[in-house]
């Protein structure tokens, strides 16, 4: 699976030959024409003088350049300078990229505004990554030419003095962008194609490409190991479950990444309503995320010993499906009473987490579209973070802030764990309707034993943009940037 991404180059102090120069202007301010060639500067002045243009957010005016390295100037309003934050800057970049794609632009130059959100290494990486992903479209099943995507190259003119930061950010940004695109491709793939076997094949291709060791536990191995959670969730489907384990790196800290891979979730016997059921192909987003992270880490060559665990199953309701009231035994010996077969993700994660901890990593980070309750709490704008380890939580939060991804820490109070105690088994797989994201996290904690350096990220909200939201619908690749930032910091000590 290959995505054509945009080539980003840094060209300080000069306007390269391109079809259009993109410029941002703050509300109530004049755009700076300093250093621009004469005709380009005059075109920018003409655009700024257009009646009604004040630099308000979403305003756009264009002017033709009579003679110069670019054919036109596109002047975008940024709103009030004091209101611009990293998220608004990202939204502006996306809006500009959409306009360029719609107009069939192949090569654009970009004069970045001089403000705190465009200065420094973290800002440079965010900008370069966003631009690199500027041509992304999941078009595998679209008629050729359906998307007017032609953007191939963006030349960035950074703020004065920021050339080194932007040049230094290019490799990191490109690696993360490739990981994000890979994650999006996997997650966007439909359930009739992206079943557990298909996901295994993609993981094997990734392993072969980057020299990773790969091990797969199919039904027989799952039975031998006593991984009753994965087996139970997958037993109602004709597409057999499995667990994929990848290993990369020979030096540095040992980190385990675990990702929920329910390739399609009907809810099983506790079947879901039909509304938005098509979006349940995204219930494998956690698995897609950890594979995308692994791709980025390998591309960067980070000194990390990475272990990736991907439990895969399809949750279907047929005569062999597991039932409410069933009791299953997971890999660590804990028994679980099934209250709701739609609380399936935590069951396949239970086996994978127990295996990951058994192999003695220094840290475990798990990603899953686990609960609608977390979406109720945080919307589609950020993920919930659970961890008993303040240092690990702080590192992930810092990685999220640097990467421009929202992450919010939520509690692991003992009452949530008490609520998950079973009646006829050690545990039950659901609690009450209150604090559902928290009780789910407490359930997972049971399978990490005495290992405290772990984190659970409930990415149900930001993993994909739903139909009713504005923006490019589909998978986002959330979590790749923040985790690679954290791993890079961990590797550097």
DSSP string, 151-169: --EEEEEPPTT-HHHHHHH
Chain centroid offset of residue 213 CA: 24
Place of tokens 């990685």: 399
Query: In 325-474, which ranges are continuous DSSP H helix?
Result: 345-358, 372-378, 390-403, 414-419, 436-445
CA distances (Å), origin 294, targets 177, 210, 211, 372, 458: 12, 9, 11, 27, 19
**Cβ pair 304, 250 in contact under 8 A:** no
Distance CA 358, CA 352 (A): 10
Place of tokens 């928290």: 438
Give me the catalytic one of 101, 119, 346, 406: 346
Question: Buried (b) or exposed (e) across 275-291, using 16+ Cβ within 10 A?
Answer: eeeeebbbbbbbbbbbb
3-state secondary structure of 464: strand
Distance CA 293, CA 116 (A): 28
Q: Which residues contact 192 (CB under 8 A, 6 or more apart)?
A: none
Q: What's the token pair of residue 43?
A: 């075109």
Q: Which residues contact 224 (CB under 8 A, 6 or more apart)?
A: none
DSSP string, 214-254: EEEE-HHHHHHHT-HHHHHHHTTSSS--EEEEEEE-SSS-E
427-428 and 335-337 strand pairing: parallel
Give me the catalytic one of 272, 305, 329, 409: 272
**Cβ pair 462, 390 in contact under 8 A:** no
Active site residue 346: yes
Distance CA 231, CA 223 (A): 8
* DSSP label at residue 471: S
DSSP string, 45-58: HHHHTSTT----TT
Question: Buried (b) or exposed (e) across 207-235, using 16+ Cβ within 10 A?
Answer: beeeebebebbeeeebeebebbbbbbbbb
CA distances (Å), origin 478, targets 43, 117, 311, 383: 39, 20, 19, 9
Closest CA to 177 of 97, 249, 105: 97
Catalytic residue numbers read 272, 346
């Amino acid at each position: 699976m290959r995505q054509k991404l945009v080539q980003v180059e840094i060209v300080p102090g000069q306007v390269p030959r391109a079809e259009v120069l993109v410029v941002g202007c703050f509300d109530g301010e004049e755009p700076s024409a300093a250093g621009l060639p004469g005709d380009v500067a005059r075109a920018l002045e003409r655009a700024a003088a257009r009646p009604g243009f004040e630099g308000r957010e979403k305003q756009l005016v264009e002017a033709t350049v009579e003679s110069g390295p670019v054919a036109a100037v596109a002047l975008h309003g940024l709103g009030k300078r004091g209101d611009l934050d990293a998220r608004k800057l990202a939204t502006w970049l996306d809006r500009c990229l959409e306009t360029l794609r719609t107009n069939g632009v192949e090569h654009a130059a970009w004069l970045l505004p001089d403000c705190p959100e465009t200065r420094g290494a973290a800002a440079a990486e965010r900008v370069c990554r966003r631009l690199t992903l500027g041509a992304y479209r999941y078009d595998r099943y679209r008629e050729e030419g359906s998307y007017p995507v032609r953007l191939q190259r963006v030349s960035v003119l950074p703020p004065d003095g920021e050339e080194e930061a932007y040049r230094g950010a290019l490799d990191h940004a490109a690696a993360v962008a490739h990981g994000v695109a890979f994650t999006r491709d996997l997650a966007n793939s439909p359930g009739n194609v992206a079943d557990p076997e298909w996901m295994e094949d993609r993981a094997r291709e990734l392993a072969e490409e980057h020299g990773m060791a790969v091990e797969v536990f199919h039904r027989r191995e799952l039975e031998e190991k006593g991984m009753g959670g994965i087996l139970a969730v997958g037993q109602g489907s004709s597409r057999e479950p499995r667990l994929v384990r990848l290993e990369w790196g020979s030096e540095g800290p040992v980190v385990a990444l675990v990702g929920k891979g329910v390739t399609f979730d009907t809810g099983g016997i506790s079947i879901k309503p039909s509304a938005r059921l098509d979006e349940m192909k995204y219930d494998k987003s956690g698995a897609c995320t950890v594979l995308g992270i692994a791709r980025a880490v390998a591309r960067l060559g980070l000194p990390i010993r990475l272990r990736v665990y991907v439990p895969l199953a399809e949750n279907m309701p047929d005569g062999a499906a597991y039932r409410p009231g069933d009791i299953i035994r997971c890999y660590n010996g804990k028994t679980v009473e099934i209250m709701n077969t739609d609380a399936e993700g935590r069951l396949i994660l239970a086996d994978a987490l127990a295996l990951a901890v058994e192999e003695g990593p220094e840290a475990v980070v798990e990603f899953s579209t686990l609960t609608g309750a977390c979406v109720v709490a945080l919307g589609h704008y950020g993920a919930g973070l659970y961890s008993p380890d303040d240092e690990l939580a702080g590192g992930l939060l810092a990685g999220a802030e640097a990467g421009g991804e929202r992450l919010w820490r939520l509690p692991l109070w003992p009452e949530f764990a008490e609520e998950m105690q079973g009646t006829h088994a050690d545990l039950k797989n659901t609690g009450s309707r209150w604090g559902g994201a928290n009780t789910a996290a407490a359930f997972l904690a049971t399978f990490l034993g005495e290992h405290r350096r772990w984190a659970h990220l409930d990415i149900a909200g930001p993993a994909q943009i739903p139909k009713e939201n504005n923006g490019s619908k589909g998978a986002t690749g959330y979590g790749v940037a923040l985790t690679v930032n954290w791993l890079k910091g961990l590797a550097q000590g």
